[in-house]
């Protein structure tokens, strides 16, 4: 009995202690000479209670239970949680007409290991948040209870860029920071889980507008600057929100939150977006366009229209802006504003952009040598090193001078990784290709862009031109922009010119070039018209798209 690894006591049917071993005394911190055979259960437990520091309540509870065990004829096992945190496995074995044998085994290490395994099964090891498995079970449990709740799906903005630029150690530290921020911010009845990567889900009791307000608060908190390894990061986040309804399954609820998150990111990120009726249909329509885009890329479904750019000083057409067109076989003309963002999201923008560059330069090769072509470049293209390769390849293949090619970028494209963008634009300009700043004055407009980036042309957004004759403030912006261009030695170019009055106002303030329906609508197709660009006298080309003829040679002074 003394060689046993378990503690053992034998209590007879009269309720007296008959046998025990040293291991039992060790487990219960009891000196060897403190107890003896023949003690009653009460006397025996009084000694154990004194050695273990039990409360009177615990002493009474254990005594009552042990007296009941003596009278039982069945066997049973149970675990005992000790006051010092250890766990003992107790087995009670009845010996007919003699008494009971109790054995005690310290299973604390095994229980801790099991607890750790269970914790790992339901928690994210990096952040300490719950994991996807725990989230699924929590959703199912709450849906089963029928209690309303909201599901918030969070995705960190630009997390991949941070990982790529600074390494996974910085990315991991950022995730730990985000987890801590959420834990401190959210109410105690919230459930937070890391889904994987930079995606985090929250089950919140807030509903409707209250859930949106909570999400807005999270967006603000997670948009604050973070210093990691002496680097100042601005992560930000997007959040999709879906409210539970009785007819939803857990998967359908997650799908709604995911659709809302996608919409939040599509609308510019750093925002919260609730799921609304019709969103699924809109996203389904977007997916149909995505599928058709792949087919258009494979089967040459795009064409280019060319809108003239006219110099105000001479009235001569100096070039054309290439505008991509997609005439869908069943949907008709689809605007670039619709399909270009989709092409960026699905990874087709590089291939579409390459086709535009090649086709524009192919057309340029047949034009009069004094003409240039302007090609729009999206933010997605600027992120790829392939852009410069596509431009130089097109120039070499079609034998056009680099200075006859101009790329146009919007101000919003400059914001995302400005350092990389500046380097890319500098490399493009070193080849001789011109760079124009498109839609100046809208979006994230900043004079710092004119200081930090080198441009050959500033294209003033049409919204200022349209209101110039009636709004003195718009006229002031036009006048100031032209003056800045003159000081910087950069051409100024006004878009959206539709009336003679607008044209004369721009001429009066010294604007260099204009573009708009007054001087010419986009022309499709263009190949048969290029020979008419040489004359200096006013001329016109019929516009296959419809509308007024496009004046392409000279504007009367």
Tell me what pLDDT residue 536 has: 29
Is 443:410 a contact under the CB 8 Å cutoff? yes
DSSP per residue, 16-79:
BEEEE-HHHHHHTT--TTS--TT-BHHHHHHHHHHHHT--HHHHHHHHHHHHHHHH--S-EEEE
Q: Assign 222 to helix, strand or coil.
A: helix
Mean pLDDT by 10 residues, the chain (557 residues): 81 91 89 89 91 90 91 89 86 91 90 82 91 91 87 92 88 94 93 94 94 95 91 91 83 90 87 88 85 91 95 94 93 89 88 96 95 93 90 97 96 75 92 94 70 91 89 92 95 95 95 95 62 33 32 37
Tokens of 434: 């011109």
Tell me what pLDDT residue 47 has: 92
Tokens of 509: 């303030």
Write down which residue in 111, 146, 176 finishes a domain. 111
For residue 25, being part of any structural domain is answered with: yes
For residue 500, being part of any structural domain is answered with: no
**Secondary element (H or E) of residue 367:** none
CATH code at position 73: 3.30.450.20
For residue 450, being part of any structural domain is answered with: no
Regarding whether 251 and 179 lie in a shared domain, the answer is yes
CATH code at position 215: 3.30.70.270
Regarding whether 137 and 82 lie in a shared domain, the answer is no
For residue 241, being part of any structural domain is answered with: yes
Regarding whether 385 and 523 lie in a shared domain, the answer is yes
Tell me how many domains the chain contains.
3
Regarding whether 359 and 319 lie in a shared domain, the answer is yes
Residue written as tokens 């911190």? 29
For residue 494, being part of any structural domain is answered with: no
Regarding whether 189 and 96 lie in a shared domain, the answer is no
Write down which residue in 89, 111, 133 finishes a domain. 111
Q: How far is CA 298 from the centre of its chain?
A: 29
For residue 443, being part of any structural domain is answered with: no
Tell me what pLDDT residue 248 has: 78
Q: CA 165 to CA 174: how far, in whole Å?
A: 13
R_g over Cα of the chain: 38
For residue 442, being part of any structural domain is answered with: no
Is 192:239 a contact under the CB 8 Å cutoff? no
For residue 480, being part of any structural domain is answered with: no
Regarding whether 130 and 84 lie in a shared domain, the answer is no
pTM given for the model: 0.61
Regarding whether 260 and 324 lie in a shared domain, the answer is no
Regarding whether 344 and 266 lie in a shared domain, the answer is no
Regarding whether 127 and 204 lie in a shared domain, the answer is yes
Tell me what pLDDT residue 286 has: 82
Give me the domain span that covers residue 65. 7-111
Regarding whether 280 and 182 lie in a shared domain, the answer is yes
Regarding whether 533 and 396 lie in a shared domain, the answer is yes
| DSSP β-ladder status, 513-514 and 491-494 | parallel
Of 127, 120, 238, residue with least CA distance to 179 = 127
CATH code at position 396: 3.20.20.450
Is 138:203 a contact under the CB 8 Å cutoff? yes
Cβ burial of 373 (10 Å; 0-12, 13-18, 19+) is buried
- 241 has which bridge partners? 152, 274
Q: CA 241 to CA 276: how far, in whole Å?
A: 9
Write down which residue in 284, 315, 349 finishes a domain. 284
Tell me what pLDDT residue 130 has: 94
Regarding whether 73 and 186 lie in a shared domain, the answer is no
Q: Give the single-character DSSP code of 123.
A: B
- How far from each other are the two terminal CA atoms of the chain, in whole angstroms? 118
Q: CA 519 to CA 549: how far, in whole Å?
A: 9
Q: CA 392 to CA 9: how far, in whole Å?
A: 90
């Amino acid at each position: 009995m003394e060689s046993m690894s378990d503690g053992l006591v034998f209590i007879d049917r009269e309720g007296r202690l008959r046998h025990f071993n040293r291991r039992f005394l060790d487990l219960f911190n009891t000196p060897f000479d403190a107890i003896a055979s023949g003690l009653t259960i009460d006397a025996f437990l009084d000694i154990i209670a004194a050695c273990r520091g039990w409360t009177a309540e615990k002493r009474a509870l254990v005594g009552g239970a042990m007296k009941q065990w003596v009278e039982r004829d069945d066997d049973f096992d149970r675990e005992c949680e000790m006051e010092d945190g250890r766990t003992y496995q107790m087995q009670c074995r009845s010996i007919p007409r003699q008494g009971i044998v109790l054995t005690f085994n310290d299973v604390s290490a095994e229980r801790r290991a099991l607890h750790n395994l269970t914790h790992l099964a339901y928690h994210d090891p990096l952040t300490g948040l719950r994991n996807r498995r725990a989230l699924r079970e929590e959703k199912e449990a709450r849906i089963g209870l029928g209690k309303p709740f909201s599901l918030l799906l969070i995705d960190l903005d630009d997390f991949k860029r941070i990982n790529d630029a600074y390494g996974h150690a910085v990315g991991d530290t950022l995730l730990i920071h985000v987890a801590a921020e959420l834990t401190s911010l959210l109410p105690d009845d919230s459930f937070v889980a890391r889904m994987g990567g930079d995606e985090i889900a929250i089950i919140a009791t807030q509903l409707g507008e209250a859930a949106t307000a909570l999400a807005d608060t999270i967006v603000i908190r997670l948009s604050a600057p973070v210093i990691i390894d002496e680097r100042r990061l601005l992560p930000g986040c997007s959040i999709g929100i879906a409210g539970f309804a009785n007819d939803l399954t857990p998967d359908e609820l997650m799908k709604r939150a995911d659709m809302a998150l996608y919409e939040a990111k599509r609308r510019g990120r750093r925002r919260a977006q609730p799921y609304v009726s019709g969103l699924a249909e809109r996203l389904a329509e977007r997916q149909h366009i995505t599928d058709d885009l792949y087919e258009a890329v494979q089967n040459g479904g795009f064409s280019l229209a060319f809108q003239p750019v006219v110099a105000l000083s001479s009235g001569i057409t100096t070039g054309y802006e290439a505008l991509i067109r997609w005439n869908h076989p069943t949907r008709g003309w689809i605007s670039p504003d619709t399909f270009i963002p989709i092409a960026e999201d699905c990874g087709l923008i590089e291939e579409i952009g390459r086709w535009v560059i090649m086709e524009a330069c192919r057309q340029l090769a047949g034009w009069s040598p004094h003409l240039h072509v302007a090609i729009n470049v999206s933010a997605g293209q600027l992120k790829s090193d392939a852009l410069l390769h596509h431009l130089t390849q097109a120039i070499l293949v079609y034998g056009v001078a680099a200075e006859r090619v101009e790329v146009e970028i919007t101000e919003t494209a400059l914001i995302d990784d400005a350092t990389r963008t500046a380097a890319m634009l500098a490399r493009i300009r070193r080849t001789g290709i011109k760079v124009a700043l498109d839609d100046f004055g809208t979006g994230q407009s900043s004079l710092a862009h004119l200081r930090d980036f080198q441009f050959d042309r500033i294209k003033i957004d049409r919204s200022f031109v349209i209101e110039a004759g009636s709004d003195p403030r718009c006229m002031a912006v036009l006048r100031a922009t032209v003056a800045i261009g003159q000081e910087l030695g950069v051409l100024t170019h006004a878009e959206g010119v539709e009336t003679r009055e607008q044209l004369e106002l721009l001429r009066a303030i010294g604007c260099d070039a204009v573009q708009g329906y007054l001087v010419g609508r986009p022309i499709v197709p263009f190949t048969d018209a290029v020979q008419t660009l040489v004359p200096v006298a006013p001329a016109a080309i019929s516009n296959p798209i419809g509308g007024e003829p496009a004046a392409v040679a000279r504007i009367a002074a």
